[in-house]
Amino acid sequence: MQTYRDQPHRDHPVAAEEGGISGADWMTVDWSQLNRGDIDVFKRRLYAHLKHRLARSAEEASLHDWYTALAHTTRDLLVETWTDSQRAAASADAKRVCYLSLEFLIGRSLESNLLAVGMMDICHAALAEMGLDFGAIREQEPEAALGNGGLGRLAACFVDSLATLGIPGEGYGIHYHHGMFRQRIEDGRQVEVPENWLTYGNPWEFKRPDVCYPVRYGGRVEMVDDGEGHQSFVWIHAEEVLAIANDLPVPGYGGFGASSIRLWSARASQEFDLQDFNRGDYIGSVMAAMESESLSKVLYPDDSTEQGKVLRFRQEYFFVAASVADILHQFRAQSGADWSLLPEKVAIQLNDTHPTIAIPELMRLLIDEQGLGWDEAWEISRGVFAYTNHTLLPEALECWPVALFERLLPRHLQIIYEINRRFLDQVRAQVPDDADLVRRVSLIDENGGRRVRMAHLAVVGSHCVNGVARIHTDLMKSGLFADFHRLYPDKIVNRTNGITPRRWLNQANRPLARLISRHVDEDWPVNLDLLRALLPLAEDAGFAEEFRRAKTANKERFTSFSGRTLGVWIDPGSLFDVQVKRIHEYKRQLLNVLHVITRYNRLRHGLTAGMVPRTVIFAGKAAPGYAAAKMIIRLIHAVAGVVNGDPRTRDWLRVVFVPNYNVSSAEVIIPAADLSEQISTAGTEASGTGNMKLALNGALTIGTRDGANIEIAEEVGEENLFFFGLTAEEVAACRSGGYDPMAVMHANPELAEVLNMIRGGYFSPGEPEAFRPLVDALLYGGDHYLLLADYAAYVATQGLVDAAWQDAAGWTRSAITTVARMGKFSADLTVLDYARDIWGVKATAPVMQDLGPYR
Ligand code: 26V
């Protein structure tokens, strides 16, 4: 069997030109072995871009100019593999997957692309000879922050895996002009600032003005009778916008495969908006054009409700209509017009319900434009679509008002009604005399204003529905989708999330990656299970020492980052206790704060026995309209102010909030973590992926039995992490069994003291009431996420963490064991599982035929 290493490394243009090192492996290569010719060609290309693209000399060039030139030099290196792999997929006539996602949280691309094409060492050598600092140049790249958090980052990891595995397919999304807002902290409060990642252009993308589709809205539907009893429907639209493609190449690791992300930007449709619609009203027509272009202007933050967000609804249809049109266009070019073959050639994955309108859109195109009958169109459509659910929280489930559909997508509403009519007939036939079941599963929610339940449409219109961790999938079956599970017992399956080891270990954690590569088969970034070879080394004192040194190097890097950017001094010898994720009540950052204050009180009262110095690190954004989350950020800053300023405690306890959490800061924070906080109320975090990133970087987890934490524990062993608190079943029982948070407080004097301090203004002396609503929500608002119920267990378990930390050798043994056993969470394996059973597509990269014990 051929493996990755048996293959000659793909020739890069650089190497081909000079006949140089075509097989350079940046991980193991000795710098003295680098080919002189390759370094020189790299330099020449860099200068050429600087001169011809930017019209700058080396003397004049700013760091940003160097970044742009370097990005173009790198892009040249990956473009050949990219176009080759697209051509190969087309000529093989292979089935491909289209991953539809409103979010792709890509982060920066320079370093990951250089690593993927195996040119990092050449680049370092060239820059060093030119007197340039790669680290400083890298910092010039703005983040492609086209996502909110885990869901968007998952999409980016999956495309990375598609590329590395050589699976034909790509991502489809929106080319937002403004990505995720930047978070600034002023007076301890979050302030949102618009993000402008495109100010200087994006050197990675290829604009495709020729790949362009009209997207229509509004108007009315007319029925046409052909006189022979055959009726059809014509949608007379009122508005039109153009969707223009922008392609981002995504190179696979090792230079074999490649994938892409096609992002649509909105352009006004000239003839419609500027001539017919607004004839004679020049200013008005330009305004109308601006309005249509606003469609791709900004990413919506995960806010508390989607209700009434007309622009968001328009965005969803905009990218879906363009993507489905593009998919059909490519199918037709490749396979002709036998639409029954569509499911053999294309799989469309719906990343959450955001792209669910693709189901009625495909039905509309097949029936209204291609003349297929309903049954045939429905069979094709169900064969193509699969849906991933990412949350059980009721407030996050999309329900769009019927009135909005009537106004903007009248034909789609008709089709949804027809899907619903046929589906409910089938339900009545399958389960007679259960009117309540019909009400519960209907695609239309009739309570209050009528609304379309997008999740129900996604379930009915897909051949497969998946959850993102085992417990989440089980809860989908027993809770949110229980009725559907009874109706379609085989439809709901689990696909536990994964992360790309390329970015999250090989790139982000160079000290550990280098150490691993010295002891483990160098293919580990494409076969993460190879890390199991580290297991015997967990007992090796010499290796443990090197492992600790790698961790210390990462902690020092974080310390200098936080010193530089925040002016906060931290002791790299202290235990780095890290909670980085979106701020949300269900994730319970507030529970972490309750522990910090408890610890602070013990220190103030001289109860230091068994305690170790800790630095508690937070980072995360709150949705702009989410008052409680914003107040939690303010509280963290207030507590940090008191704790960090207290000479009695400052050597024992520090609190740091890193502003503007994003992919790039995650790459610095995560490798530095000793302890990973995964403390959501059991049953609320669908999976989590930060939990995987932190464990893969050698942090031990303190967490609840929630999401993927459960499967992480199964892999690394419960003895190597710290579980605490109520299980999902106990949470359900507690909520329905007269939970009394006030009684919990009265029974625990330490907890009472903490709550009184927050409530009484101890951390906000100038504004004593500032944080009262947070405590009142716990004591009088029912404490929906059961912070007080889990408090005592959490604090006690944090004590166990201190004790474990004092046994440095034991801690390191657990950390090494954790890293060694995280192979299951490579996104490659997750994507292969989707590919095999849900998409029916095949990987072509040779390395992935050898997958170790998992496959
Ligand atoms: C959105 C909203 C918006 C309204 C306020 C409440 C709320 C709560 C959660 C969400 C997130 C919805 C979808 C999502 O991002 N899910 C995340 O998906 C990740 C990838 O599968 C997974 O690891 C996270 O556990 C899950 O929260």
- Kindly state the DSSP code that residue 115 receives in the 8-state scheme: H
Average pLDDT over residues 610-638: 97
C-alpha–C-alpha distance, residues 209 and 130, integer Å = 37
Q: Which domain holds residue 507?
A: 503-725+793-825
pLDDT at 256: 77
pTM of the complete model: 0.95
Would 774 be classed as within a structural domain? no
- Out of 502, 693, 735, 824, which one is annotated catalytic? 693
Would 181 be classed as within a structural domain? no
pLDDT at 13: 32
Q: Is the pLDDT of residue 31 over 60?
A: no
Would 144 be classed as within a structural domain? no
DSSP 450-487: -EEEHHHHHHHH-SEEEESSHHHHHHIIIIITHHHHHH
SS3 assignment, position 682:
coil
DSSP 240-270: EEEEEEEEEEEEPTTSS-EEEEEEEEEEE-I
**Sign, Cα dihedral of 274, 277, 282, 285:** negative
707 close to ligand 1 (CB < 6 Angstrom): yes
Active-site residue 689, yes or no?
A: yes
Active-site residue 693, yes or no?
A: yes
Would 291 be classed as within a structural domain? no
Q: Helix 627-644 crosses helix 772-779 at what angle (to 10 degrees)?
A: 110
Could you tell me the CATH number of the domain that includes residue 670?
3.40.50.2000
Q: Is the pLDDT of residue 3 over 90?
A: no
CA 249 / ligand 1 centre spacing (Å): 27
- Closest listed residue to residue 530, CA positions, set 1, 2, 3: 3
pLDDT tens digit string along 152-200? 999 999 999 999 999 999 999 999 999 999 999 999 999 999 999 999 9
- Closest listed residue to residue 174, CA positions, set 144, 142, 217: 144
pLDDT tens digit string along 349-385? 999 999 999 999 999 999 999 999 999 999 999 999 9
CA 652 / ligand 1 centre spacing (Å): 35
pLDDT at 32: 59
Residue holding tokens 């900004």? 298
Average pLDDT over residues 72-91: 89
Average pLDDT over residues 772-800: 98
pLDDT tens digit string along 762-781? 999 999 999 999 999 999 99
Would 307 be classed as within a structural domain? no
Average pLDDT of the chain?
93
151 close to ligand 1 (CB < 6 Angstrom): yes
CA nearest ligand 1 atom 4, residue:
304
- Closest listed residue to residue 496, CA positions, set 715, 684, 688: 688
pLDDT band at 564 (very low <50, low <70, confident <90, very high): confident
C-alpha–C-alpha distance, residues 755 and 759, integer Å = 6
Cβ-in-10-Å burial (0-12, 13-18, 19+) of 548 comes to middle
Number of domains comprising the chain: 1
Active-site residue 581, yes or no?
A: yes
Rounded to 5°, the CA angle 818-145-47 comes to 100
> Measured between alpha carbons, how far is residue 534 from residues 676, 704, 755 in Å?
21, 27, 45
Residue 722 pairs in a beta bridge with 702
Average pLDDT over residues 819-825: 98
SS3 assignment, position 314:
helix
Average pLDDT over residues 662-672: 98
pLDDT band at 851 (very low <50, low <70, confident <90, very high): very low
CA 825 / ligand 1 centre spacing (Å): 19
Average pLDDT over residues 825-831: 98
CA 215 / ligand 1 centre spacing (Å): 28
Q: What percent of the chain has pLDDT over 70?
A: 93
Would 629 be classed as within a structural domain? yes
391 close to ligand 1 (CB < 6 Angstrom): yes
Q: Is the pLDDT of residue 6 over 50?
A: no
- Out of 390, 412, 637, 735, which one is annotated catalytic? 390
pLDDT tens digit string along 731-758? 999 999 999 999 999 999 999 999 999 9
Q: Is the pLDDT of residue 20 over 50?
A: no
pLDDT tens digit string along 510-523? 999 999 999 999 99
C-alpha–C-alpha distance, residues 502 and 115, integer Å = 8
306 close to ligand 1 (CB < 6 Angstrom): no
Q: Cα-flanking dihedrals φ and ψ of residue 623, to 5°?
A: -60, 140
Ligand 1 atom nearest 497 alpha carbon: 21
Would 277 be classed as within a structural domain? no
Would 649 be classed as within a structural domain? yes
394 close to ligand 1 (CB < 6 Angstrom): no
Ligand 1 atom nearest 149 alpha carbon: 15
Lowest average pLDDT, out of 27-41, 309-323, 802-816, goes to 27-41
Other C-beta atoms closer than 10 Å to the C-beta of 306 total: 19
Q: Is the pLDDT of residue 537 over 80?
A: yes
Question: Hey, what amino acid is at 434?
Answer: D
pLDDT at 606: 93
pLDDT at 66: 98
Active-site residue 582, yes or no?
A: yes
